[in-house]
């Protein structure tokens, strides 16, 4: 596989945990890592030293002006996703953009328009939808009627990523982290959203920065008439329930996801369960948004989580937040 992609040249912008993870994946696929950028130059240099590359820089503009670079990995804090993705698309680079696509719907639409105009490929790393468990459930349950998605704990305080709570650089827990759940529900329900409602609560523990709720419980009515419930909360680690939990029903069949999307148990289907950890290594490694982007570039096809998907997911998150803020149900713009 690495031979297929060996002509691709990439840069990583945002050299923290996620950026370095993508650099390792890119290297394993034979991609040449040309440049590393971080506003903290030492982090860019440390990544360059680890993965190789021609230069490290604190200036994203240098990466944009480098015509040798085909592909950008953007793994910065969330406030920088919009300006950097916009500049990347305008510079004609293909983009792997970490979630969330942007913090606001207006920003996401601007990026989507720039991507379309430039004719570049964009994948957003809402990676739950590429998990073999999600792929199987989507194949077995067509247009579910009901679903539930839940993030009920988060290790941001342990990992040091407390910035996700910040209204400015993170945007709060929903858009920062539970965005994975919203995106998965949109994918599995296979519908545009219609209306949402939510209640939020600040339980304290110094997490809901700036009054942002550290617990949000919401509903989504889809255009198909289907319904979802959502929990986005940080209630500390829990040894009994996975950090993530999702359930889907279509009236006859059901799917229950656990083990960080690693396992799905089916009811009413020909198979009882799928556990990703039992799959061959190569199959597990293929379930990657970077591979998906590279295949979209190679075949001139679409990515699994494209600009439209990103705009929709950000729009749902923004509408849920607005419902909490106003105490009123919100129609989600399409
Ligand atoms: N898809 C996933 O499962 C997953 C998992 C973890 C993180 N993420 C995402 O990856 C991104 C980065 O998260 P992280 O955990 O690596 O955070 P991090 O704090 O470890 O790294 C982010 C890096 O970006 C740099 N940065 C911030 N603003 C910048 C700018 N304007 N220009 C250049 N560099 C800038 C910071 O200095 C930092 O080094 C976020 O979007 C996060 O949500 C996704």
Fold of 128-285+313-331: Dihydrodipicolinate Reductase; domain 2 (3.30.360)
Q: What is the pLDDT of residue 123?
A: 98
Quick count: other Cβ atoms within 10 Å of Cβ 113?
A: 14
Cα–ligand 1 centroid distance for 200 (angstroms): 26
Place of tokens 């994975």: 180
The alpha carbon of 289 and the centre of ligand 1 are apart by a number of angstroms equal to 16
Q: Mean pLDDT across the chain, nearest whole number?
A: 93
- Whose tokens are 């937040």? That residue is 321
Distance 124 CA to ligand 1 centre (A): 14
Q: Whose CA is nearest to atom 39 of ligand 1?
A: 16
DSSP E strand boundaries for 177-243:
193-201, 215-222, 227-233
Q: What is the pLDDT of residue 166?
A: 75
Find the 18 Cα to ligand 1 centroid distance in Å. Answer: 6
Ligand 1 centroid distance, CA of 21 (Å): 11
**Residue-wise pLDDT tens digits, 181-230:** 999 999 999 999 999 999 998 876 656 566 677 789 999 999 999 999 99
Top mutation candidate among 77, 95, 244, 287 for ligand 1, by most atoms within 8 Å of CB: 77
Mean pLDDT of the 246-254 span: 96
pLDDT digits (tens, 9 = 90+) for 82-101: 999 999 999 999 999 999 99
Residue 53 is predicted with a pLDDT of: 96
pLDDT attached to residue 160: 59
For the CA of 20, the closest atom of ligand 1 is 16
Query: How many whole angstroms from 278 Cα to the centroid of ligand 1?
Result: 31
Of ligand 1's atoms, which has the minimum distance to the CA of residue 40? 37
Class of domain 9-126: alpha beta
Q: Residue 176 to residues 21, 62, 79, 96, 313: CA-CA distances in angstroms?
A: 18, 28, 11, 17, 12
* Helix locations, 179-329, DSSP H: 179-189, 281-286, 289-299, 307-326
Domain boundaries, the chain: 9-126, 128-285+313-331
| pLDDT tier, 164 (very low <50, low <70, confident <90, very high otherwise) | confident
pLDDT in tens, 278-334: 999 999 999 999 999 999 999 999 999 999 999 999 999 999 999 999 999 999 998
Res. 148 pLDDT band, cuts 50 70 90 = very high
Asked if pLDDT for residue 1 goes beyond 80, the answer is no
The tens digit of pLDDT for each residue in 168-177 reads 778 888 999 9
Which atom from ligand 1 is nearest to the alpha carbon of 81? Answer: 41
pLDDT at 334: 87
Q: Which residues line ligand 1 (CB under 6 A)?
A: 13-19, 37-40, 43, 60, 75-78, 80, 98-99, 125, 127, 161, 176
202-209 contacts: CB < 8 A, separation 24 or more? 203/235, 205/234, 207/157, 207/165, 207/173, 207/234, 208/165, 209/165, 209/166, 209/167, 209/172
Q: Nearest Cα to 257, choosing from 182, 175, 156, 184?
A: 184
Number of the ligand 1 atom closest to the C-alpha atom of 80: 31
Most confident of 53-67, 145-159, 206-220: 53-67
Which two tokens mark 3?
């031979």
Q: Is the dihedral of CA 112, 114, 119, 121 positive or negative?
A: negative
């Amino acid at each position: 596989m690495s031979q297929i992609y060996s002509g691709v040249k990439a840069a990583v912008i945002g050299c923290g945990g996620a950026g370095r993870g993508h650099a390792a994946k890119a290297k394993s696929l034979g991609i040449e890592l040309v440049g590393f950028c971080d506003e903290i130059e030492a982090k860019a240099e440390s990544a360059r030293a680890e993965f190789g590359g021609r230069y490290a820089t604190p200036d994203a503009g240098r990466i944009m002006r480098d015509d040798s670079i085909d592909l950008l990995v953007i793994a910065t804090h969330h406030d920088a996703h919009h300006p950097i993705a916009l500049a990347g698309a305008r510079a004609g680079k293909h983009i792997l953009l970490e979630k969330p696509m942007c913090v606001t719907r207006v920003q996401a639409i601007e990026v989507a328009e720039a991507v379309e105009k430039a004719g570049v490929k964009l994948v957003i790393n809402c990676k739950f939808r590429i998990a073999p468990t999600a792929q199987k459930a989507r194949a077995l349950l067509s247009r579910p009627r009901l679903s539930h998605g839940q993030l009920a704990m988060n290790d941001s305080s342990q990992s040091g990523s407390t910035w996700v709570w910040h209204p400015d650089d993170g945007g709060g827990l929903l858009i920062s982290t539970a965005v994975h759940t919203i995106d998965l529900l949109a994918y599995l329900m296979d519908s545009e959203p219609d209306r949402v409602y939510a209640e939020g609560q600040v339980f304290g523990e110094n997490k809901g920065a700036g009054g942002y709720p550290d617990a949000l419980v919401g509903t989504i009515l889809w255009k198909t008439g289907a319904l979802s419930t959502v929990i986005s909360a940080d209630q500390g680690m829990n040894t009994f329930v996975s950090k993530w939990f999702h359930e889907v029903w279509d009236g006859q069949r059901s799917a229950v996801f656990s083990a960080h999307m690693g396992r799905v148990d089916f009811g009413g289907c020909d198979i009882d369960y799928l556990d990703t950890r039992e799959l061959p290594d190569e199959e597990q490694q293929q379930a990657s948004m970077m591979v998906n982007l590279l295949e979209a570039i190679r075949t001139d096809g679409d990515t699994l989580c494209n600009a439209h998907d990103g705009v929709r997911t950000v729009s749902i998150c923004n509408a849920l937040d607005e419902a909490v803020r106003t105490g009123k149900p919100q129609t989600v713009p399409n």
